[in-house]
Amino acid sequence: MALGYVGVLTVRVEMPWVGNLKEKRALVRPVVERLKARYPLTVARLDGLDAHDWEVIGVATLSNDYGWVEETLRMAADFLAREGQYRVVSEHTEITVLGGEEEEFGE
């Protein structure tokens, strides 16, 4: 039996019409902050921080309920696609099982 599940969502967004980093941050950062406030997630800007026209956003959550992890990441992906003034070009979800019958917890 699984001890829990860790879910990770990565989303690449592009905004080729943006001309500088300040403008890109003004588009991406508010969406990331609203996502963190709305859902029980850890959210980070992972890659493309020095590029003005794209970025990768990472989202993670942890629970003992696989369905809850899956649904929460789906809601996060939908939120990111709906709320930003950018184009979502790819998304990847991975859910990892923690523990198992053969593993012991503690010493």
Per-residue pLDDT tens digits for 9-66? 999 999 999 999 999 999 999 999 999 999 999 999 999 999 999 999 999 999 999 9
Q: Is the pLDDT of residue 107 over 80?
A: no
Q: Where are the beta strands (DSSP E) in the chain?
A: 4-14, 42-47, 54-63, 87-98
Determine contact, residues 95/7, Cβ cutoff 8 Å: yes
Q: Which pLDDT value is given to residue 101?
A: 55
Percent of residues in the chain assigned helix, strand, coil, to nearest 5: 35, 35, 30
